[in-house]
């Protein structure tokens, strides 16, 4: 009977399951969306029971689609939306509150309070993270502070906390395993990335009992076996990684200096920096890439808020395209932006600026400007933002960058990928299978059980598909990069100007 690896990809809007064969090819897959809950502005929640039911459902569906049962699956790998938290009762296995999602901002004021108390450097030095409501710690504290009886039960050891990977494994093993891996632990703001331990000082700061926390394990090892009726037989659970780290491994960025960029709604760029964590002086995050065979690899991470979302804005707000796929053809109608520069800071600027007050602007328009010029400028803005993060990574890491590996929806846009290579003056490599997040989870699980023997065997699978080489003779690249930086500078000056001052004309003498 042929053997497969089952990757479970629990995302922010849907749960997916993908079955991979020995050559890293997709055999079967299933996907199901689940409810997004918005109790108040800025609050985002999921029902943990719905997360579990959809994930278990697609796991069974993908297996049946392939005409297989549990006996044909060598191992399960899990990858998940990071920072989202679930707190549940150890005895009943039932959550005491909805999952609070990484996008949720309800604890922003509390984080501001910690910053005012001078706690930011302590947190940054231990965790590699910026002090922000994005991460898990303040969310757990909120649940303990706001759910009746939660603090008493937590103090009595009756509650368990976990990121989504922990919650799924708890359910797959019927409460036998309460574990996470180093990548997910490193996103909680409770984990010391130098000692690789839960940090007592941080637990005290957020008032979270140690008894709630899962055991931290490697990203690639056999944690235990499934005990549910989802599968016909027990299957080893053998790989865990947060989604962006899984994509980094799926792209086989296994040597220091290798970088991947995921072009989704925003962009997530990670660089493998090797066995030593690199502190950032450019507002990047220092995080754990993975741990396997006792060896830890670290990464630098930069987030870009608006990538594919810029194209959605052209479609939904301006109406100049009907579908996102049309943007490439529209942009190709012109050979340049005609001097137009688009800085899409609709939700502020992410790395390396981290300016939440910045707002979007389009510069350099004339009477000759058309929808095609704006579309082209929108695509170029994605490449310029990626360039800024990559330059910050070069400085922070001190490592040369030979290529950029890409995935995500917008990576299918040939015009964007070629311009990206030109702007970076670096090769851009797009994989044959763009499901690199699930593939990374599969690789980690498969290596743990000997389905694949080593990294060399994975490299030999030849997943890279399309190479975009920089066009050295491309005219105007240097000038367009300078224009981009001028536009960002002008935008930040305008965004921080006192209200009304920009609108008042000079008074005559």
Give the chain's domains with CATH numbers: 4-244 (3.30.420.40), 252-431+463-495 (3.30.420.40)
**Structure confidence at residue 501 (pLDDT):** 44
Mean predicted confidence (pLDDT) in 232-258: 92
Say if residue 13 carries a ligand binding annotation: yes
Please determine, for residue 509, whether its predicted confidence score (pLDDT) is greater than 50.
no
Nearest-5° angle of CA 483, CA 486, CA 488?
110
The residue ranking higher by pLDDT, 97 or 349, is 97
Say if residue 151 carries a ligand binding annotation: no
Please determine, for residue 392, whether its predicted confidence score (pLDDT) is greater than 50.
yes
Say if residue 218 carries a ligand binding annotation: no
Say if residue 16 carries a ligand binding annotation: yes
**Interacting residues of 116 by C-beta distance below 8 A, sequence separation 6+:** none
Mean predicted confidence (pLDDT) in 204-212: 94
The residue ranking higher by pLDDT, 503 or 202, is 202
Say if residue 121 carries a ligand binding annotation: no
d(CA 286, CA 274): 12
Mean predicted confidence (pLDDT) in 470-482: 81
Mean predicted confidence (pLDDT) in 229-243: 87
**Structure confidence at residue 303 (pLDDT):** 83
Distances (CA, A) of 187 to 89, 161, 212, 241: 23, 14, 16, 11
**Structure confidence at residue 105 (pLDDT):** 82
Please determine, for residue 404, whether its predicted confidence score (pLDDT) is greater than 90.
yes
Burial of 454 per CB tally in 10 Å (0-12, 13-18, 19+): exposed
Range in 197-201, 218-222, 468-472 the model is least confident about: 468-472
Please determine, for residue 276, whether its predicted confidence score (pLDDT) is greater than 80.
yes
Say if residue 409 carries a ligand binding annotation: yes
Q: 370 falls in which pLDDT band (50, 70, 90)?
A: very high
Looking at residue 131, the DSSP 8-state letter turns out to be S
Say if residue 12 carries a ligand binding annotation: yes
Say if residue 242 carries a ligand binding annotation: no
**Structure confidence at residue 239 (pLDDT):** 96
CA dihedral of residues 118, 119, 125, 127 (deg, nearest 10)? -160
**Structure confidence at residue 400 (pLDDT):** 83
**Structure confidence at residue 473 (pLDDT):** 67
Averaged pLDDT score across all residues of the chain: 89
Mean predicted confidence (pLDDT) in 303-328: 85
**Structure confidence at residue 472 (pLDDT):** 67
Say if residue 312 carries a ligand binding annotation: yes
285 within 8 A of 428, measured Cβ to Cβ: no
Say if residue 134 carries a ligand binding annotation: yes
Mean predicted confidence (pLDDT) in 86-100: 95
Q: 463 falls in which pLDDT band (50, 70, 90)?
A: low
Say if residue 187 carries a ligand binding annotation: no
**Structure confidence at residue 171 (pLDDT):** 94
Please determine, for residue 506, whether its predicted confidence score (pLDDT) is greater than 60.
no
**Structure confidence at residue 70 (pLDDT):** 64
pTM for the structure as a whole:
0.86
99 within 8 A of 47, measured Cβ to Cβ: yes
Please determine, for residue 16, whether its predicted confidence score (pLDDT) is greater than 50.
yes
**Structure confidence at residue 401 (pLDDT):** 86
Say if residue 83 carries a ligand binding annotation: yes
- Number of Cβ within 10 Å of residue 318's Cβ equals 12
**Structure confidence at residue 507 (pLDDT):** 45
- DSSP string covering 54-117, please? HHHHHHHHHHHHTT--GGGEEEEEEEE-SS-EEEEETTT--BSSPEEPTT--TTHHHHHHHHHT
The residue ranking higher by pLDDT, 426 or 499, is 426
**Structure confidence at residue 357 (pLDDT):** 77
């Amino acid at each position: 009977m042929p053997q497969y690896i089952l990757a479970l990809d629990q995302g922010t809007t849907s749960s997916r399951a993908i079955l991979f064969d020995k050559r890293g090819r997709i055999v079967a897959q299933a996907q199901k969306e689940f409810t997004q809950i918005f109790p108040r502005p800025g609050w985002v929640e999921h029902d943990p029971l719905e997360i579990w039911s959809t994930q278990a459902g697609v796991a069974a569906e993908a297996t049946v689609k392939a005409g297989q049962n549990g006996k044909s699956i060598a191992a399960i790998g899990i990858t998940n939306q990071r920072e989202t938290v679930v707190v549940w009762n150890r005895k009943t296995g039932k959550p005491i509150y909805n999952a609070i999602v990484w996008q949720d901002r309800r604890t922003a004021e509390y984080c501001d309070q910690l910053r005012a108390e001078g706690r930011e450097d302590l947190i940054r030095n231990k965790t590699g993270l910026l002090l922000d409501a994005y991460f898990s710690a303040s969310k757990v504290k909120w649940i303990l502070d706001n759910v009746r009886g939660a603090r008493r039960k937590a103090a009595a050891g009756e509650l368990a906390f976990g990121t989504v990977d922990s919650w799924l494994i708890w359910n797959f093993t019927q409460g036998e395993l309460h574990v996470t891996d180093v990548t997910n632990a490193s996103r909680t703001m409770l984990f010391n990335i130098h000692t690789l331990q839960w940090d007592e000082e941080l637990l005290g700061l957020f008032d979270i009992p140690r008894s709630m926390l899962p055991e931290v394990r490697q990203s690639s090892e056999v944690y235990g076996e499934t005990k549910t009726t989802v599968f016909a037989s027990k299957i080893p659970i053998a790989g865990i990684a947060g989604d962006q780290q899984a994509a980094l491994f799926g792209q086989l960025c296994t040597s220091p200096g290798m970088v991947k960029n995921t072009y989704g709604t925003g962009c997530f760029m990670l660089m493998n920096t090797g066995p030593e964590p690199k502190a950032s002086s450019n507002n990047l995050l220092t995080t754990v890439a993975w741990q396997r065979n006792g060896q830890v690899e670290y990464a630098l991470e930069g987030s870009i808020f608006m990538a594919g979302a810029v194209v959605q804005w052209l479609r939904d707000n301006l109406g100049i395209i009907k579908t996102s796929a049309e943007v490439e053809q529209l942009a190709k109608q012109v050979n340049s932006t005609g001097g137009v520069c688009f800085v899409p800071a609709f939700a502020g600027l992410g790395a390396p600026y981290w300016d939440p007050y910045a707002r979007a602007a389009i510069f350099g328009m004339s009477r000759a400007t058309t929808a095609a010029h704006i579309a082209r400028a929108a695509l170029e803005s994605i490449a310029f933002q990626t360039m800024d993060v990559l330059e910050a990574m070069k400085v922070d890491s001190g490592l040369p960058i030979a290529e950029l590996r890409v995935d995500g929806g917008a990576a299918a846009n040939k015009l964007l990928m070629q311009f990206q290579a030109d702007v970076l003056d670096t090769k851009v490599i797009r994989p044959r299978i763009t499901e690199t997040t699930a593939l990374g989870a599969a690789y980690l699980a498969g290596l743990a059980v000997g389905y694949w023997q080593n990294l060399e065997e994975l490299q030999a699978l030849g997943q890279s598909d399309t190479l975009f080489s920089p066009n050295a003779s491309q005219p105007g690249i240097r000038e367009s990069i300078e224009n981009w930086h001028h536009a960002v500078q002008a935008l930040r000056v305008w965004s921080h100007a006192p209200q009304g001052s920009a609108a008042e004309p000079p008074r005559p003498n």
